[in-house]
Amino acid sequence: MRFVITLLAALLAVVPSAHAGPGPSSKWENIGPNGAGGYLAFARDVVYVLPGAGQQVFRSGDRGRSWRQGRLFPEMRGNGLAADPARPDTVLVAGYEGGGGAGSVLRSVDGGLSFSVALRTPSEVQDVAFGGGFSYAASAEGVYRGVGGLGWSLLPGSPAAAEDVQVVGSDLVVAAGGVVHVLRGGKWSAFDVPADKITSRGDVVVARKFSGGVHLSVDRGATWRAVSGPWTSSWILYGGITGNGWIQVQTLDGHFISADLGVTWKRTDAVARVDVYTEIGSFVDLPDWQWVYASGGVYATADHEHFKRVGVPGAHVLSLAVSGRSLLAGTMQGSYRTDLPVTSQEWDFDGSAPHAIGNRIGALAARDGVVLRGRNGYRGSQDTIFVERSLDGGRTWVTTAEMPGNTRSLVFDPFAPNRVYLGAYLINAFYVSSDGGLSFVQRVHAGLRGIKTIAADPSGIWLADAGGLYRSVDGGVSLRQVLPGRMNSVLVDPRDPRHVVAVGQNSVFVSFDGTSFVEVPRVSSEQLSAIAVAPDGVLYLGSISFEGSSKGVLRSVDGGRSWTVFGGPEVSLGVEALLVSTDGRTLYAGTVSGSVHRRSLG
């Protein structure tokens, strides 16, 4: 086993030269972390990952050492993909179009970098596959067949409500209408075998249905038998056969492996390690090295007891911070840390998956070797903010306080050594600490609707709230509304605290005297998000589009009076967090489903 784990480590070793420190460039670089999972497709040495309900594909041509992020899909969300084993750069994505329930198959011939619509269907396309010289797509109308992803037509007699399609030798096995259908010799046959997912290896086929158990065929679907094992739950979270011939079943009772087609079983620790399985795949020449798409991401394993994370850099990043040589990213599933300068898309990983629920890191703050994070979780059924503290750059954490609400804002007061402010939403309050974040006092104000950002100056604090921009000069005991309307961010210029910039939904409000504000209207038709300032005073502003491609980042060189696009296709899913390095040479953007991107500022 030690040899196997060593082999995995070698296969997934980092290639530092691929991610060297930034030089002057007009392009963004995805630097990780590898904090997202997705549906898998393998072809020769190439692997593709489609994040769940995603809008782009990630590709690795070096077996997971590094990843390339594809461009946004044209008006579709994907929920399945396949790669042509004969032409690895040809990729198909199954999915659905927004509004109306129509579906599409997208086709790429440049390795998932860009896609075009190859097939439109009246209903959502559930699955795609290659095999036997053809391509297939499963939808409510039945099974479509094409060649290389083109020239589609509905197969005569194919079953309606098709969910999954698998090419088995010269036959086709389909999960449709909740049962198994087989196309053999041009004739369709239906079997009373529950199925919503099909996997195969050689002549062996495994059918799984969430509430219908696991069934096995050793003759390409001609006959079937039920699979039983040391589990009692009838809820089958995963069931299938892997490239090395193992039958794998995951239920509420745990995860089980059989190497002899279900005769004997071994229980593994996979549920505790990586949570619920969605899919398993492998390279043809490495069937014992299996990749698992589970709740916490994608992992490689040889025994389903020991796991190595392999991708992908598609995490949704909510917050960023730097402490010494540590760069930290707060995501929907925990925080990740790496050393500066970033040389790899793989950041720190402790060998187990982060909790998928109650582990959203909405805010990060760092000063003088202390890092604080605001984790949005639950105390029983109540939304709870857990404030956690690290003294080693984010490697380990200790909980110091907890209070009602959720948070997206945590800030050290730069003018008061031990004062920390914590914004909250879901409640009309925020919190103040006078001991460096060890304990907090609640400040309740009826006018608050949900705080996104808090910023401090020598005289007081500014609160960007869903109900407006607020000002306090007494540590939050009293508040005064300065601007009405939803505010998403606020920034105080460290060079001149009278220079305050407040960010609304689509407009920016600028003050140069700390009192009166001028609106810069229609800065963006998209939702504006985080704002950051460089040491030279240049401002950077994030944006998020919920209806397609976003500008990503905008820039102002005149204190916020005017803005130009500073984004690009690499950050077009949107930006939630921005951070300028202390030397002003690098801009970091925490993106929506694209992890952290880096761009040189010269």
Q: pLDDT tens digits for 455-498?
A: 999 999 999 999 999 999 999 999 999 999 999 999 999 999 99
pLDDT of residue 461: 97
d(CA 211, CA 234): 6
Asked if the structure places residue 579 within a domain, the reply is yes
pLDDT of residue 72: 83
Name, in order, each residue with C-beta under 8 angstroms of 516's C-beta and a sequence gap of 6 or more. none
Q: What angle do CA 533, 536, 540 make, to 5 degrees?
A: 30
pTM score, whole prediction:
0.85
pLDDT of residue 536: 95
Asked if the structure places residue 440 within a domain, the reply is yes
> Residue ranges of the chain with pLDDT lower than 70?
1-26, 53, 99-100, 349-354, 356, 546-550
Polymer length in residues for the chain: 602
DSSP string, 445-512: -TT---EEEEEEETTEEEEEETTEEEEESSTTSS-EEEEES-EEEEEE-TT-TT-EEEEESS-EEEES
Asked if the structure places residue 321 within a domain, the reply is yes
pLDDT of residue 100: 66
pLDDT of residue 547: 64
Backbone angles phi, psi at 90, to 5 degrees: -95, 120
pLDDT of residue 424: 96
Q: What is the CATH number of the domain that holds 554?
A: 2.130.10.10
SS3 539: strand
d(CA 311, CA 58): 9
Q: Beta partners for 212?
A: none
Phi-psi region of 136 (alpha: psi -120 to 50; beta: other; left: phi over 0): beta
Asked if the structure places residue 128 within a domain, the reply is no
Distance of CA 35 to CAs 51, 270, 418, Å? Answer: 11, 18, 33
pLDDT of residue 131: 94
Q: Which domain holds residue 390?
A: 317-600
- Reference 173, options 156, 152, 158; nearest CA is 158
Asked if the structure places residue 40 within a domain, the reply is no
The structure tokens 């296969």 sit at 11
Backbone angles phi, psi at 271, to 5 degrees: -60, -45
Asked if the structure places residue 17 within a domain, the reply is no
What does the DSSP 8-state code read for residue 587? E
Structural domains counted in the chain: 1
SS3 210: coil
Token output for 348: 């720190």
Asked if the structure places residue 520 within a domain, the reply is yes
Asked if the structure places residue 348 within a domain, the reply is yes
pLDDT tens, residue by residue, 172-220? 999 999 999 999 999 999 999 999 999 999 999 999 999 999 999 999 9
Q: Beta partners for 536?
A: none
Cα pseudo-dihedral 521, 502, 576, 341, rounded to 10: 120
pLDDT of residue 351: 56
